Amino acid sequence: MTNKNDTVLGHYTDSIHYELEQTSKLMKMLGKQLFDKLEIGITMDEYAALDTVSINAGICQRDLAKLIIKDRANTGRILDSLEQKGFITRFIDTKNNRLVKKMGITEKGYEELNFINNKIKSYFENVTKRLSDENVERVRTTLKTFRLELEQLVETNI
């Protein structure tokens, strides 16, 4: 039996929010399975952090945490692991007259990033193979717009 409000409010499972959440979960699962299958020596979270550091040289931990949407403690653990593997280096710098730990990617880190990108490229392209390049770009742009809107609403406390 359906409730008359179902037609007015709809079901959560019929919403864009549900589709995004489920898609995100599946992509995370696919990434983990892929990294395990290809025996990639870092996690998806480490990969995201490494990639982000590679395009944001000199980024501090707090700013990185905001970009990868992880709390500072988790970000610190990820960075510790990447540093132990020799993929990033951390250094002290100043920001607003305060000492801040910043990081950069090492040559070994760039090599690892390129190695991973080459290994996973065909797998991730397979996910979107039924979509035209234009549709893939449209979805990416729409999702980015949606994410930026969410960032204005969500209190992340990072």
Domains recognised in the chain with CATH numbers: 25-120 (1.10.10.10)
C-alpha–C-alpha distance, residues 39 and 21, integer Å: 27
Residue 153: pLDDT above 70?
A: yes
According to the model, what pLDDT value does residue 9 have? 66
42: helix, strand or coil: coil
Residue 10: both structure tokens together: 């709809």
> 1-5, 10-14, 51-55, 132-136: which has the minimum mean pLDDT?
1-5
Burial label, 24 (beta-carbon count in 10 A; 0-12, 13-18, 19+) = exposed
Query: Residue 40 in contact with residue 119, Cβ under 8 Å?
Result: yes
Comparing CA positions, the residue from 18, 22, 14, 17 lying closest to residue 6 is 14
- Summarised one tens digit per residue, pLDDT across range 62-91 is 999 999 999 989 999 999 999 999 999 999
- Summarised one tens digit per residue, pLDDT across range 17-66 is 999 999 999 999 999 999 999 999 999 999 999 999 999 999 999 999 99
